Structure 1
Amino acid sequence: MTQQQLPSSEDLAAFLAAVDGATPLSKPDRVSFEAPKPSPRPRQLERDEAAVLAELLQAPLAIDDWLDLGDADSFLRSGLPRTLLRDLRRGRWSIQEHVDLHGMNRHEAHQQVSLFLAESLASGRRCLRIVHGRGHGSPGREAILRQLVKVWLGRSKDVLAFCHAPPCDGGDGALWVLLKAASKPR
């Protein structure tokens, strides 16, 4: 065991000189607690939800879009081998380009997806990632863009397959898309 050293007489004198004239604090008889602070109000989320709701009220979806809104996790064009989709899910194809649709309304997103697919096909890119988000900014936190992007991709004759990206690449907030090979000019 180590011995505690007592302060020297010089140290004690210096301490007493430093606290000379100080009045001791009174000891309260009870413990006082602060009132709990109110939880923060998500003002930006409220503004985002109001903006999305206003957008939905201005331009309703066509009935066929609502009927086609599937929750399918993947798509494979009919007549193609299932191994193509399996290879896409396993990451056999490397992502050559991506687009992020965060902050866009459905009209802007549709235009962006169409342009992105056309440019990718023209430049020979086959494997793409489309980040559509999880719908946290939508009313009711419903992922409207997630469903619409799947509808748009399924309708495109250039899309062979798509599936949700793995968690490290966006999870259910992103899709991996495989395009057909660009036809070579003769």
Structure 2
Amino acid sequence: MTQPARDDLDFRALMGDVAPLSRARNRADPGRRQGGPSEAQLARRESAAAEQADRNFLSDDFVDLVPPFDPLAYRRDGIQQGVVDRLRHGGYAAQARLHLLRLPLEECRRALPPFIQEAHAHDLRSVLIVHGRGQAIDSPANVLRSYLAKWLAQFEEVQAYVSAQPSDGGLGATWVMLRKSDRARAANRERQQKRRG
């Protein structure tokens, strides 16, 4: 007897009295009611929604619109005015750029947190966000600009931000100064200690 024939006999012996399903019931019955997700699926969805909300803490609630010709400016307590002035005049090189021109508000809201957090994680200090500026106070570009001013202040990583100079995008772009990461601060302390001897 050949090996394939022996395998076929073994298979038939193992299957014994197994009968095929009828055509009407040829699918497995998971035992749950039709038309809705199970409790486990609902719990997973709720957990995923809560996790997404935690990841993106930026509010899309009402914001006071910034007039289109007013520059944006913000600095946390303890940040020297000289640092903000140098940032405003392009004294720090753009280490990364985020272009939000003509993107929907919700897409901008999703893109901003990973950009800021990744830039901070890579020890970048100055980044440029290009968002545009409309002529009317309620233009989409100016609405985005207003939300951006609100959102940036919500990041712990952001020390200051100011509208850019005309050569860098003017009122349609914003310079952002990020705080040093713990790793960068430790390296800076080590350098200073070596200098002191």
TM-score (norm 1): 0.59
CA RMSD of aligned residues (A): 2.6
1:111 aligns to what SS in structure 2? Answer: helix
Q: Which residues of 2 match residues 155-166 of structure 1 at below 5 A?
A: 155-166=154-165
Deviation at 1:183, TM superposition (A): 1.0
What does 1:9-88 align with in structure 2 at a 5 Å threshold?
61-62=60-61, 65-67=62-64, 69-70=65-66, 73-88=72-87
Map 1:121-132 → 2, pairs under 5 A: 121-132=120-131
Residue type at the aligned position of 2:80: P
**SS where residue 184 of structure 1 aligns?**
helix
Shift of the 100–136 alpha-carbon distance from structure 1 to 2, 3 Å rule, reads farther
1:23 is matched with which residue?
none
Query: What is the Cα deviation at residue 124 of structure 1?
Result: 1.1
Tell me if structure 1 keeps the 8 A contact 2:133–2:171. Answer: yes
**Deviation digits for residues 14-46 of structure 1, max 9, x if unmatched?**
xxxxxxxxxxxxxxxxxxxxxxxxxxxxxxxxx
Residue number in structure 1 paired with 2:100? 101
Runs of 4+ residues over 4 Å off in structure 1: 69-72, 136-142
Shift of 1:136: 6.4
SS at match of 2:153: helix
> Aligned AA for 1:135?
G
**How many pairs does the alignment contain?**
124
Distance 1:82 1:137 in 2: 30
- What is the distance in 1 between the residues matched to 2:147 and 2:140? 15
CA contact (8 A) 1:102 1:133 kept: yes
Q: Which deviates the most, 78-87 or 137-146?
A: 137-146
Which string of whole-angstrom CA distances, capped at 9 and with x for unpartnered residues, describes residues 91-136 of structure 1? 2211111010023111110111111101101111110000111136
What is the distance in 2 between the residues matched to 1:175 and 1:125?
A: 16
Range 84-93 or range 161-170, more displaced? 84-93
Unaligned runs of at least 5 residues, structure 2: 1-59, 187-197
Q: Deviations over 1:37-62 (max 9, x none)?
A: xxxxxxxxxxxxxxxxxxxxxxxx52
Residues 77, 102 of structure 1: alpha-carbon distance in 2 compared, 3 angstrom cutoff:
same
| Counterpart-to-counterpart distance in 2, 1:138 and 1:83 | 30
The 1:132–1:183 alpha-carbon spacing in structure 2 relative to 1, beyond 3 Å, is same
Larger radius of gyration: 1
Contact 2:157 2:179 (8 Å CA) reproduced: yes
Q: How far apart are 1:79 and its partner, in Å?
A: 2.3
SS of corresponding position for 2:133: coil
> Which structure 1 segments of 5+ residues have no match?
1-60
Q: CA deviation at 1:75?
A: 0.5
Cα gap change, 1:142/1:103 in structure 2, threshold over 3 Å: closer, same or farther? Answer: closer
CA contact (8 A) 1:100 1:131 kept: yes
Structure with the larger helix share:
2
The answer to which of 76-85 and 145-154 deviates more is: 76-85
